Amino acid sequence: MNTASDARLEALLLHAEIDAFNTDYAEKLDRQDLLAWVECFAEDGFYVVISRENFERNQPVGLIYCEGRGMIADRAFALLKTAMFGPRYLRHMISNLSVASQPDGSVQARANFMVIEVLTDRPEPRVLQVGEYRDVFVRVDRALKLKERRCIYDNLLIPTALCIPV
Amino acid sequence: MNTASDARLEALLLHAEIDAFNTDYAEKLDRQDLLAWVECFAEDGFYVVISRENFERNQPVGLIYCEGRGMIADRAFALLKTAMFGPRYLRHMISNLSVASQPDGSVQARANFMVIEVLTDRPEPRVLQVGEYRDVFVRVDRALKLKERRCIYDNLLIPTALCIPV
Amino acid sequence: MNTASDARLEALLLHAEIDAFNTDYAEKLDRQDLLAWVECFAEDGFYVVISRENFERNQPVGLIYCEGRGMIADRAFALLKTAMFGPRYLRHMISNLSVASQPDGSVQARANFMVIEVLTDRPEPRVLQVGEYRDVFVRVDRALKLKERRCIYDNLLIPTALCIPV
């Protein structure tokens, strides 16, 4: 293995690490463990859920907008208390990941997501949301954390889904 | 590449091998080659299809329950004879794979699956099943085989899908 | 790392490269940049969109049939002019990739795809198409290009989707 190969391997290892992060992130949401989900973010992490329409028009108004892990945690606690995160099953499918390390040591990444919902009173699963993640990752004590995650959803959301993190 | 990198590369290669296994597994089911599908399991392989509700309540009652490749093969033959595996197209999408090798040489893995069905008399595809695989892999003559596969589906299944392996 | 490991790493790197190609290909289609999409093909690239039924019966009649990048570009321009590629959002989910390098230096690959459509006047996303890519890749100036891409879709297509590349 020469230097060129080493660089490709490093890129491959980083890609695999982000992929594992996303798998873990999705798993936390799918078992509705919002407190563990909060830990995916850096202390000053930014989290926004925004429609593709608004994103493409540079209108930063999002359905969910959180600056800092404190706000993200508040959001999670509120959800748990209001029991809106209720009697349903969610399942994330994440694919089409691309990763680019930046000169400052951070990592930019994108991936497509799909969230499938199963309600207890409906036999058929339905596609609740589809869209993409646009992320910036940083390392905190060697572990990857989200410095920024923008969840850009294609669809108009239905009311019951309004407050669910993606 | 130092020893730490070597360990990461080994993990990456194993992850890729399981990913390839799952791709192959899905391809066998999607072309309805149940006899080839049976060969994915170890001789004493365990295969169960169970609802998320039952799984989470530790109720081991599954829709399909097979202990050993003999039972799995019986199931496959029965399906082929009754022609229940009939005029429809199935397509598996597998994502969110995570892999952990165990001290005893076996490998634990999880992945999310989605099965899309197309019926000959309906123009639109529909999401037939969504859920996760929880697996234990072993090596038999160097090839990976399923020692255990639990297919845990989120949705209530519709009658026509009752007997289809996932 | 010995020679056997090196071969596995080379396979892994190639797999990652095709995966990145597919992610990029999908991203071009999802943002409706058909001119960039055309560049994914080799000069003599072959592109066909065909139903699974016809493919399995060896009937080569496809919904879209293009021999050479010129024809592919013509198709793209026609679509852009007729504005059929219109007010909707598309999102590709690609998974289940398998890759096999050939003795002549080309690469055969397969992957499953799913295209999710969101119409501006319908709140819920729907599965527009599901199927598989069967590809042959070649290198042109070191970059991978599609020498052949067969998009084999499971579902009967609905009229509005007739002319959209996959």
Q: What is the DSSP string of A76-88?
A: HHHHHHHT-S-SE
ipTM of the complex: 0.93
Q: What span, in angstroms and rounded, lies between the C-alpha atoms of B4 and A13?
A: 12
The radius of gyration of chain A's CA atoms, rounded to the nearest angstrom, is: 17
Print pLDDT tens along chain C (166 aa). 467 778 999 999 999 999 999 999 999 999 989 999 999 999 999 999 999 988 989 887 777 889 999 999 998 888 777 755 567 899 999 999 999 999 999 999 999 999 999 987 777 898 989 999 999 999 999 999 999 999 999 987 655 555 678 8
Could you tell me the pTM of the whole model?
Answer: 0.94
Contacts of C161 in chain B (CB under 8 A): none
Contacts of B126 in chain C (CB under 8 A): 127
Min distance C27 CA to chain B CA atoms (Å): 18
Q: Look at residues A85, A90, A41, A101 and name the one whose alpha carbon lies nearest to residue A66.
A: A41
Question: What local confidence, expressed as pLDDT, does residue C120 receive?
Answer: 77
Question: What domains can you pick out in chain C, each with its CATH number?
Answer: 3-161 (3.10.450.50)
Q: What span, in angstroms and rounded, lies between the C-alpha atoms of B68 and B90?
A: 25
Please name the member of A9, A98, A158 whose beta carbon is closest to the beta carbon of C23.
A98
B9:C1 CB<8 A: yes
The set of long-range contacts for A32-38, using a CB threshold of 8 Å and a minimum separation of 24, is A32/A85, A32/A90, A34/A76, A34/A77, A34/A79, A34/A80, A34/A85, A34/A165, A35/A73, A35/A76, A37/A76, A37/A165, A38/A69, A38/A72, A38/A73, A38/A76
Residue spans of chain A under pLDDT 70: 1-2, 83-86, 157-163
Q: Which tokens belong to C127?
A: 């599965």
Residue whose pair of structure tokens reads 């499953």 in the numeric block: C112
